[in-house]
Amino acid sequence: MDNTKPTIQISKTGKVTVLNAKDIQLLDAEGNEIPTRNRFSLCNCGKTGDAPFCDGSHNG
């Protein structure tokens, strides 16, 4: 796997992790940019307190 190109990885539990994301633009529903890091996980369970990012709330 190329360790420099942007990659979206889905785990067996459904966690969506974005790797090498420095050049990825993440937008909200209105088209506003959401600041990101080079690696982040997106929530798909709806329990996070840090939407749209996963904060591990689904584990509790």
What is the domain partition of the chain in residue ranges?
1-60
Q: Please give the Cα distance from 11 to 16 (Å, whole number).
A: 7
The residues near 15 (Cβ < 8 Å, ≥ 6 apart) are: 41, 44, 54
* Global pTM value: 0.76
Residue type, 23: D
**What are the percentages of helix, strand and coil residues in the chain, rounded to 5?**
5, 30, 65
Residue ranges for the chain with pLDDT beneath 70: 1-2, 60
Contact (Cβ atoms closer than 8 angstroms) between residue 53 and residue 43: yes
